Amino acid sequence: MKNLIFPCLIVLLSQPLLAADDTTDFTFNEAALAHAHTLREQALRSDLAYTITADLTTRVGARAGGTPQDALAVQWAVKQLKALGFDRVWTQPVTFPYWHRGQESAQLLQPVPQQLKITALGGSPGTAENGLVAEVVLFADLQALQAVADDSLNGKIAFINKRMQRHRDGHGYGEAVVARSNGPAVAKAKGAAALLIRSIGTDNNRTPHTGTTRQPEDGSAIVPAAALSNPDADQLQRLFALGIKPELELRLDTGFDGEATSYNVFGEVTGAQPEQIILLAAHLDSWDVGTGAIDDAAGVGIVTAAAKLIQDLPGIPQKTIRVGLFANEEQGLYGGFEYLNQLQLQHPDAPLVEHVMAMESDFGAGHIYRIDARTNAAGWSVVDALHELLAPLQIELGSNGKPGGSDIFPLINAGIANIALRQDGTDYFDLHHTDNDTLDKIEPEAMQQNLAAWAVTAWLVSQSGVDFGSGTLAPAND
């Protein structure tokens, strides 16, 4: 299994590629601008993104990589893209280790029996069938756990109590998620029997947040690991504050069972230059909790609807608009890595030769507030120019050198040009990777503004005639 960062957002990967005053003037032709205006107004009245999102969450629901529901989601996507009339619809197989979640429970035994709400971290091994009973030891954060001597925890349960902070751009996630990604390996090294973490989430619901944990590169084991909901973590914290050492029973029926194959699903609006591709990405899989509405049926809805609106314009776009709905993002960007892998097999010397640009929607369905990018100077001039169409949507111009995306992370890392439409994520981590990720959390009006930004941006990138630098950009920092 590959060892990855587990994004759903990647920000601030590298330094700006050029200073703001390097921007040169760029002007779109009038036909391109007229169609951009049309797209924007149509999107603001369109319910297509919402309808697609509703259909996926209702007819399929949760669709964790490798499950029967994941296979249904692939069927759904192929049928959906064909029904929308895309020029070409196809799939690409993606194979990965299959991880299952069975029963999971935690019960406080001392000082008083209380059920605690937990969810196993993706990739966690199970406990013994009868569970394990141990004293809990509190750590303020991952660093505090790292600071204790190896093998000193003596079969106890380590508990990392770091709370994620709420921010519009979601950067609190990156600060807190190390407890989830690295904690189980560190806990193993310290001699713990298991790890509990405070959920990497900003809510106060008893809906704990799952998410993948990192498997050590040397193949060494990790301990069974689960997240407590924030109110349950508060409860443990209060017990410690009273001087009480909690003891609890943890049972996880989880683990890896061989391999599974799922599929990336693609649909295209063929452009006048068919082998010049603008990739609009989202991921088709979800976690098994919730119904994957904001993560990432919303992205599926937004990128599909944006491409459909462009297809429905008179004539054809200059470049090909490719919708990419990727497999098993949640457990390690498997679909995204396989996509790059196939490009490398096809074009060993220039894997990105056919790609103008990649963009991704994987941060909910909220209002877009900024446009960032990672392009060459000519590309940034285009972004600067197209921002005029976005400004009336209350979208600010961000900066170059700030890419974003999850499935397209391998492509960005390989030097693809990228535009990142930043979605308001203030409430995103209330819901992300929880039971609460359901359709009712999506505001149709915010989604229309989001769709408008996507349609306008993809269209104007296509019509700009500019090489954004894909394949010539330095690899982004991992």
210 binds its own copies (CB under 8 A): no
What is the residue type of 46? S
- Residues in 431-460 that interact with its own copies by CB under 8 A: 435-436, 438-441
CB of 439 to its own copies, least distance (A): 7
- Residues in 103-162 that interact with its own copies by CB under 8 A: 108, 111-115, 117
Token pair of 397 as six digits? 């111009």
Binding mask 164-203 for its own copies (x = CB under 8 A): ----------------------------------------
Of 70 and 424, which CB lies nearer to its own copies in the complex structure? 70
Asked if 289 and 432 count as a contact pair (C-beta separation under 8 A), the reply is no
Binding mask 217-256 for its own copies (x = CB under 8 A): -------------xx--xx--xx--x--------------
**Best CA proximity match to 4, nearest among 432, 406, 412:** 406
Among 21, 45, 68, 243, binds its own copies (CB under 8 A): 68
60 binds its own copies (CB under 8 A): yes
- Residues in 92-111 that interact with its own copies by CB under 8 A: 108, 111
CB of 4 to its own copies, least distance (A): 27
Token pair of 16 as six digits? 């700006």
What's the rounded Cα separation, in Å, for the pair 369 and 154? 49
**Best CA proximity match to 296, nearest among 307, 308, 282:** 282
For 375-396, letters b (16+ CB in 10 Å) and e give: bbeebbbbbbbbbebbeebebe
* Long-range contacts at 235-243 (CB < 8 A, ≥ 24 apart): 235/108, 235/114, 235/116, 236/108, 236/116, 236/136, 236/138, 236/159, 236/161, 236/196, 237/138, 237/161, 239/111, 240/138
CB of 303 to its own copies, least distance (A): 22
| Number of residues binding to its own copies, judged by CB under 8 A | 36
What's the rounded Cα separation, in Å, for the pair 275 and 110? 64
Backbone φ and ψ of 177, nearest 5°: -70, -15
CB of 231 to its own copies, least distance (A): 4
Among 122, 224, 290, 335, binds its own copies (CB under 8 A): 290
Residues at the site binding its own copies, with contacts judged by CB under 8 A: 54, 57-62, 68-69, 72, 108, 111-115, 117, 204-207, 230-231, 234-235, 238-239, 242, 290-291, 435-436, 438-441
